[in-house]
């Protein structure tokens, strides 16, 4: 009896009805439309496009910032390089 209590319990399979299957397919179809799952394009292509969009958005924020002025140490260093 001790051996039986140490074994893991038997798990029954959960079967899906036709209605549940149709509902899951309908939801997945909606996901394709909102861009979260695109079966017609490779994942690499989707991820690259998303990264490019994110990078462009990030760079746009800093596009109009004025250039930073050089401090005294940087100016001195560049003057030494000119010699």
DSSP labels for 31-83? HHHTTS--TTS-HHHHHHHHHHHHHHHHHHHHTTPPPPPP-HHHHHHHHHHH-
Read off the pLDDT of residues 66-79 as tens digits, 9 standing for 90 and up: 888 889 999 999 99
The verdict on residue 2 lying in a domain is no
The verdict on residue 32 lying in a domain is yes
Read off the pLDDT of residues 12-25 as tens digits, 9 standing for 90 and up: 777 888 898 888 87
Domain count for the chain, please give it. Answer: 1
pTM above 0.85, yes or no: no
The verdict on residue 79 lying in a domain is no
The verdict on residue 83 lying in a domain is no
Which residue in the block uniquely carries the two structure tokens 């799952």? 37
The verdict on residue 54 lying in a domain is yes
The verdict on residue 41 lying in a domain is yes
Domain extent for 21 = 15-65
Read off the pLDDT of residues 33-56 as tens digits, 9 standing for 90 and up: 555 565 678 889 989 999 999 999
The verdict on residue 70 lying in a domain is no
Greater pLDDT, 44 or 31? 44
């Amino acid at each position: 009896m001790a051996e039986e209590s140490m074994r893991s319990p038997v798990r029954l399979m959960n079967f899906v009805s036709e209605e549940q299957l149709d509902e899951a397919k309908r939801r997945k179809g909606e996901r394709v439309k909102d861009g979260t799952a695109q079966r017609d394009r490779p994942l690499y292509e989707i991820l690259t496009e998303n990264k490019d969009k994110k990078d462009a958005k990030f760079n746009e924020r800093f596009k109009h910032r004025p250039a930073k002025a050089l401090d005294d140490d940087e100016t001195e260093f560049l003057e030494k390089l000119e010699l």
